[in-house]
Structure 1
């Protein structure tokens, strides 16, 4: 069959929806669009939650979200795009873990859902209604899936681990300051 079927249409809708949400979030960070705070404000927030340096962290998160989201929506370089989304959302989830699971309480539910969707699209592929398909899957090869997800998981683990260490040191410093008073 040379045409597309409902599986391809479903993947297109999933890619467009997830990619669109990620692009909106990324451009909030990068440019201050859609009520965002741009690199300056997002950088200050990133620093406050333990991601340092803040501006570089905001840039990386914004590029992973906006770039990964754009590529997912287009169905281009799907393994890398899905991995970028998953990594960015794992970092966001780490910030929300103390508030529990549900988003209504400030939890990680939403970020985790976006990240899992990105990872699932990286694994499943974009379907036939995609640039990857139109380009003969030049940047969507089977070996790229575990490579992209593995490298992203390793980098994310390091970044989130460093954040955890910073927060721990910050907390210990604040407790020491309380004892000195």
Structure 2
């Protein structure tokens, strides 16, 4: 094996590993696989976490993780795949952020790491052992990188800000209900 293919093998290993983890988490949300809640259970959890409407939020999170992960693993539409998975992980980070950084305390370390890996793969490209390479990199061009990450960042910002507003509204309503008459 020539020395120059080491980077491509490393990208393949990273894509398969990160993509596999993202697929597993997304299919928990979408189908209830691997002990997940499926759409209904995830929708209830999403509502509880402040993501409304819950069902649409569950579908978006599941598709961002499973779809983005599958595309990353295949090395297909890599910029869009990395951006979608990173955007989904931004929502997860917003949920875990109040618990601090480290995962053992419920913190955001794990979703942040998955998001950074997905983003890095989307930016770096898939390497030569990929469907993007086979397709002549038609879906892996600089314009695709800029568009995918701009749209993902905008969508993640809207979703996280809506969640913050929904939580603040619920907290204010709860505080108002606790005031004695």
> Where on the TM-score scale, by shorter chain, does this alignment land: which range?
over 0.9
Give the 4+ runs in structure 1 shifted more than 2 A.
Answer: none
**Deviation, structure 1 residue 180:** 2.8
1:80-100 C-alpha deviation (Å, 9 max, x unpaired)? 000000000000000001111
Q: Secondary structure at the match of 1:5?
A: helix
Whole-angstrom CA distance in 1 between matches of 2:142 and 2:136: 13
* Distance change >3 Å, CA 95–CA 175, structure 1 → 2: same
Please provide the CA RMSD for this pair: 1.3
* SS of match in other structure, 1:91: helix
Matches within 5 A, 1:76-155: 76-155=76-155
Normalising to structure 1: TM-score of the pair? 0.97
Question: Any idea what SS the aligned residue of 1:59 has?
Answer: helix
Match of 1:71? 71
Cα deviation digits, residues 97-134 of structure 1 (max 9, x gap): 11111000000000000000111001100000000001
Residue 146 of structure 1 deviates from its aligned partner by 1.4
Say if 1:39 and 1:59, in contact at 8 Å, map to a contact too: yes
Distance in 1 separating the partners of 2:155 and 2:31: 25
| Structure 2: gaps (5+ residues) | none
Note if contact 1:4-1:128 (Cα within 8 Å) is conserved in structure 2: no
Shift of 1:4: 6.0
- What's the secondary structure of 2:142's corresponding residue? coil
Contact 1:4/1:129, CA 8 A, preserved across alignment = no
Of residues 77-86 and 141-150 in structure 1, the stretch that sits farther from structure 2 once superposed is 141-150
In 1: Cα distance, 2:139 partner to 2:96 partner: 33
1:159 has 2:137 as partner: no
Q: Aligned pairs, how many?
A: 180
